[in-house]
Amino acid sequence: MYQQGGIPNGGFQGNFSAGGFGDLGDIFGNLFGGQARGPRRGADMQANATISFRESINGTQLTFNSPSGPVTTKIPAGVNDGARIRVRGKGAKGEAGPGDLYITVNVSGHSIFSRREENILITLPVSFPEAALGADVPVPTLSGEEVTLRLPAGTANGKVLRIKGRGIARKDGSAGDLLVTIEVTVPQRVDGKAKKALESYQAETEGADPRSDFRKRAQS
């Protein structure tokens, strides 16, 4: 096993290992007087690389040491966690040329963003007035800029809204979407005018029962 010799710009972590156990034909040929084969190609090697979620979306470049010397390779934009990338001629050396290097890419999670195919997912906290009355709210994106999302009045908690073209770029030039799940936040403490306003709202909507249909479905 070859231990990793350097840390790349892209955050490479892991080690190298040979891809096979040799040729049993050569072993038995030597034992029983068989004819040896000609020059052999070097063994394929395996390596693991860990990159950030943002690097997996935008693409990155890794540089590290391998048995065949320094290796620099590009990780394409939009790569999935667990993807396997082949780097030709960067495996173990052999008389007939080196083998290949296979890199398994591990993508670290992000505290806010996740992905589903070419779509980026985010959960956005909003206030009760914003959800009830409607509002234009800023939404962060992976590019670092913010886009404005228009919340319709009466937006329910858990509602998923779509911002087109703000997902992961595809090979044909199009892009996935940014899917925003709304999370209506409830204040831990309400005092003064805000409390009186809520009490007034409660009195005005006293006849409304949000669980009436829920009870009917529970009894069906």
Domains present along the chain, CATH in parentheses: 2-107 (2.60.260.20), 114-206 (2.60.260.20)
Evaluate whether 100 touches 88 at the Cβ level (below 8 Å).
yes
Q: What is the reported pLDDT for 30?
A: 55
The radius of gyration computed from the CA coordinates of the chain, to the nearest angstrom, equals 28
- Given pLDDT bands bounded at 50, 70 and 90, which one contains residue 189? confident
**Does pLDDT of 134 surpass 70?**
yes
Q: What is the reported pLDDT for 8?
A: 44
- Cα–Cα distance, 101 to 88 (Å, whole number): 6
Residue that wins the pLDDT comparison between 5 and 66: 66
**Does pLDDT of 168 surpass 50?**
yes
Average pLDDT, the chain: 83
